[in-house]
Amino acid sequence: MRITCPYCGTRDLREFSYRGAASDLERPDAEAPPEEWHAYLHLRDNPAGVTRDLWYHEMGCASWLVVTRNTVTHEILACDLARDVALKAREAKR
């Protein structure tokens, strides 16, 4: 597997480490109800198809990436900086 880091270009899988679903970016407010926190911490989708994961370019530039890929075809559809995704989500909230 090869992932295209927006900074470093396409790199071998072994430079990256996996974290989990990109829903980790959607941290609830501190005062959000427990159910919302429960969902954020523990509930995950397991799609046969397009999914968004967080990967860390650990042996590279240390960027956190949101990788959009298809679990059926193994195709990678997009690699975005988690920072950009998070900032965009913030703007959308406002």
Q: What share of the chain is helix, strand, coil (3-state, %, to 5)?
A: 30, 35, 35
Task: Report which of 8, 1, 6 is spatially closest to residue 60, judged by C-alpha positions.
Answer: 8
Binding status of residue 18 toward other proteins by CB under 8 A: no
Residue 30 or residue 45: which is nearer to other proteins going by CB? 30
Closer of 51 and 63 to other proteins (Cβ) = 63
Choice from 35, 43, 77, 83 touching other proteins (CB under 8 A): 83
By CB under 8 A, residue 21 contacts other proteins:
no
81 binds other proteins (CB under 8 A): yes
**Size, binding site for other proteins by CB under 8 A:** 40
In angstroms, the CA 54 to CA 83 distance is 11
**Binder among 90, 92, 93, 94 for other proteins (CB under 8 A):** 90
Cα gap 37→84, rounded to integer Å = 23
Task: Give every CB contact of residue 83 below 8 A, 6+ residues apart in sequence.
Answer: 63, 64
Q: Which of 89, 86, 52, 85 is nearest to 68 (CA)?
A: 52
Binding site for other proteins (CB under 8 A): 1-2, 7-12, 14-15, 17, 19, 24-25, 27-28, 30, 32, 34, 37, 41, 54, 56, 58-64, 74-76, 81-83, 85-87, 90
